[in-house]
Amino acid sequence: MKVALSIAGSDSSGGAGIQTDVKAMASIGVHPCTVVTCVTAQNTERVDSIYPLPTTEIEKQLESVLADITIDAAKTGMLYSAQIVETVAKVFEGRSFPVVVDPVMIATTQGSLETGDLTQALISRLLPLCELVTPNIMEAESLSGLKIKSEDEAKSACEKIHSLGAKNVLVKGGHLGDKPVDILLSEGEFRKFSAERYPEDVHGSGCAFSAFIAGGLTLGMELEECIRESKKMVTAGFFGSRKIGKGFPVIQSHYSADRYPVWKELDIALEELKEFLPADLVPEVGMNIGYAVPFATDPSEVAALKGRIIRVGEGIDTPAHIDFGTSVHISRIILTVLRFDHRYRSAMNVRFSEEIVDRFKHKGLVVSEFDRSEEPGGVSTMEWGTERAISNLGKVPDVVFDRGSVGKEPMVRILGRSPLELLEKLKLVLNE
């Protein structure tokens, strides 16, 4: 079991801080150890009070964990004061595991999470010990002493912070420009990571991002891969965020143990699908691909694209992210199939043609059809049609299709145990 360490403050709302770190790390299969630096009284609207733990108690937490447990990577969040920074840095010196420093200075609710001497302590004591520092725009301005209003100025801030001792610098651009573009300076080169913008601030996003990165390092991933994958997970967390109080929504920094692998495999399959999918296979109504958790019974347990793959000229365009409970159509197909065979957890639709149906048959795949004209009133076409195709055959086929009806586009649906299996079936007919 790989183990990560979070050194951060406790958020009584559970939306940020060490609580979010634990959820994020655990969601990717990493065991989280924790050292609490401060106890905050806060909610989704404001920070009411901050109680920093005595540095002797923080040091005892650190020494107790490190005396017994092999830590593969660590992250720091809210450290609050120069005294706490000094305590953490003293224990970190001589340790070989990578450290991600999230230089937390202000909450999403705009409450201050630092004392006046924090910034200089971070610069002098912790930056030289870290593998990566992940400031947002305000934090990068504080560390670098530079104003940041553009990507070029963000790059200048990266260079300045690197010169202060940080091995790698990631300036988060969530509050810069039309798209949230993060800029990494690593080994003398700049790399950019962009994502779809969420329309409002979300409590806990910075904590989750740095926790995901630390978790990735714990699993042995290269830094650039950690950041790229963490960016995707945080984006999914943004779009899955929920209001738990009167203030900012809280990021969903975690999927349950069975959801993250589903989300991840679907993400990998989507990237591969975009590389070889011919535009003429995209139906007029668009295309989707879904994957359910084991033994799913509800659409909220089925991951799919939030939106549909569409044809744009001779190419395709895809939505920016995957989430659970987003596609009624693909969920109904998968959940119906699961009632017959729990192994078949994935489905996708492609444009119908007699040629592609014949190709599937020629390749030895099992094909079944249903007739929309026989559909009774008051039922879901996806559920009724899928059930009819399976019942007619006596087992779950590889492919279910229909020839449409008035106002209904004909469609081919590929079924499989996983998204990657769907792609293999599709490749069979495309390679013919």
At 145, which CATH number? 3.40.1190.20
| pLDDT at residue 109 in the model | 62
Count CA within 13 A, CB hemisphere, residue 396.
20
Residue 204 has a pLDDT of 86
What does the DSSP assignment read for 103-153? Answer: ---B-TT--B---TTHHHHIIIIIGGG-SEE--BHHHHHHHH-----SHHH
Q: What is the pLDDT of residue 254?
A: 65
Tell me how far apart the alpha carbons of residues 138 and 131 are, in angstroms, rounded to a whole number.
21
Number of domains in the chain: 2
Determine the Cα–Cα distance for residues 357 and 340; give it in Å rounded to an integer: 23
303 and 225 fall within a common domain: no
At 108 the pLDDT is: 67
Amino acid at 150: S
Residue 398 near residue 412 (C-beta atoms within 8 A): no
In a shared domain, residues 237 and 89: yes
Contacts of 275 (CB under 8 A, 6+ apart): none
Structure tokens at 147: 């104003």
Task: Answer yes or no: do 77 and 174 share one domain.
Answer: yes
* 194/67 same-domain check: yes
* Residue 270 CA from chain centroid, whole number: 14
190 and 284 assigned to the same domain:
no
d(CA 386, CA 370): 8
Instruction: Give the residue from 130, 132, 106, 111 showing the smallest Cα distance to 191.
Output: 132
Question: What is the β-pairing status of strands 181-186 and 169-171?
Answer: antiparallel
Domain that holds residue 140: 3-254
- AA letter at 273: L
Among 228, 254, 280, identify where a domain stops: 254
d(CA 333, CA 387): 9
pLDDT recorded at residue 345: 95
CA dist list (Å): 129 to 95, 98, 167, 223, 357: 9, 9, 8, 16, 60
Global model pTM greater than 0.85: no
Q: According to the model, what pLDDT value does residue 287 have?
A: 94
Q: Are residues 280 and 372 in the same domain?
A: yes
Q: Which two tokens stand for residue 73?
A: 């990577």
Question: What phi-psi label fits residue 394: left (phi over 0), alpha (psi between -120 and 50 degrees) or beta?
Answer: left
CA-based nearest residue to 127, from 188, 52, 76? 76
Q: Which residues contact 327 (CB under 8 A, 6 or more apart)?
A: 288, 290, 299, 302, 304, 305, 306
Q: Is the dihedral of CA 140, 146, 148, 152 positive or negative?
A: negative
Which residues, listed in sequence order, are joined to residue 139 by a DSSP beta bridge? none
Judge if 174 and 274 occupy the same domain: no
Per DSSP, 405 falls in state: B
**Mapped to the 3 state alphabet, what secondary structure does 195-243 carry?**
CCCCCCCCECHHHHHHHHHHHHHHCCCCHHHHHHHHHHHHHHHHHCCEC
- Residue 272 backbone dihedrals phi, psi, to 5 degrees: -70, -40
| Listed residues 200, 233, 254: the one ending a domain | 254
**pLDDT tens series, the chain, 432 aa:** 899 999 999 999 998 999 999 999 998 889 999 999 999 999 988 899 999 999 999 999 999 999 999 999 999 999 999 999 999 999 999 899 999 999 998 876 676 777 878 999 999 999 999 999 999 999 999 999 999 999 999 999 999 999 999 999 999 987 676 777 899 999 999 999 987 777 778 888 899 999 999 999 999 999 999 998 888 888 777 777 788 899 888 887 665 445 778 888 999 999 999 989 999 999 999 999 999 988 888 898 899 998 899 988 888 888 768 888 988 999 999 999 999 998 999 999 999 999 999 999 999 999 999 999 898 888 888 999 999 999 999 999 999 999 988 888 999 999 999 999 999 999 999 986
Same domain, yes or no, for 196 and 267?
no
β pairing state of 399-402 and 367-369: parallel
Residues paired with residue 73 on neighbouring β-strands, in sequence order: 4
Q: Are residues 59 and 166 located together in one domain of the fold?
A: yes
- Which residue, 254, 277, 307, sits at the end of a domain? 254
Residues 52 and 196 in one domain: yes
Token pair for 424: 């293999």
> Which 3 state secondary structure label does DSSP give 348?
strand
Considering the domain architecture, whether residues 215 and 295 belong to the same structural domain is answered as no
Instruction: Check which CATH number belongs to the domain holding 265 and give it.
Output: 3.40.225.10
Q: Do residues 281 and 419 share a domain? A: yes
